[in-house]
A and B are shown apart, each in its own frame.
Chain A
């Protein structure tokens, strides 16, 4: 149980275009999901906390107009990288905490590798 999927697993896009990444909790509901960014050989950097039915909470230094987050249901959160540039190339990981309090840890998706050319 407690599986989180991400789609796509990798994507290549041209500079200036937008790309959407989906994060789904497959067997549990999650009011709260998280989006991380990870550069090669570095740790996970929290970008934002996604809350179902409300606006996301962004970490300091993260451009909310560039990284649009929509948490439209209890099993789906999306991250849209708008007007992507090569410096946005990175590995993006989502995670979710199951509702109901039966566990407090986060479950992670497999990640999405974004390359902007």
Chain B
């Protein structure tokens, strides 16, 4: 069975600084997708970034980028130029790429606080 581990329950970063959130996963699958979701105090889940396992290039979305290490089964999220609005819970999620199956497995989350 697949598992997703986020080893940092809480982190803080100064505004404008860079922070990296870690995520590791365990799977025997070769094709899968990985996601980072943000859950601000409103509790609305917001997709931050996604990565297809078959792509070697790390995904980037503006200030957010990932370091995807398939062999190490690691998927860390880097937030550059942190902003106060980045304060939220961040969840790493794994999804198998089996056709018709879109089930997510979430990590336990990392609470990020951006300090002014």
Q: A44-B91, A110-B42 are in contact. Are A105 and B47 (CB under 8 A)?
A: yes
Q: Determine how close the nearest CB of chain A comes to the CB of B107; give it in whole angstroms.
A: 7
In the complex, the answer to whether A93 meets B104 with C-beta atoms within 8 Å is no
Q: How many residues of A contact B (CB 8 A)?
A: 20
Main secondary structure, interface of A, reads strand
B91-116: CB near A (< 8 Å → 1, else 0) gives 10001010010111011110100000
A95 to B97, CA, bound (A): 18
Residues of B8-37 whose CB lies within 8 A of A:
33, 35, 37
A95 to B109, CA, bound (A): 18
A41 to B109, CA, bound (A): 9
B103 touches which of A46, A108, A111 (Cβ 8 Å): A46
Chain A residues lying within 8 Å of B33, measured Cβ to Cβ, are 104-105
Asked if B62 lies at the interface with its beta carbon under 8 angstroms from chain A, I say no
Chain B residues lying within 8 Å of A93, measured Cβ to Cβ, are 43, 45
Q: A44-B91, A104-B33, A105-B35 are in contact. Are A91 and B43 (CB under 8 A)?
A: yes
Chain B residues within 8 Å of A, Cβ to Cβ: 33, 35, 37, 42-45, 47, 50, 91, 95, 97, 100, 102-104, 106-109, 111
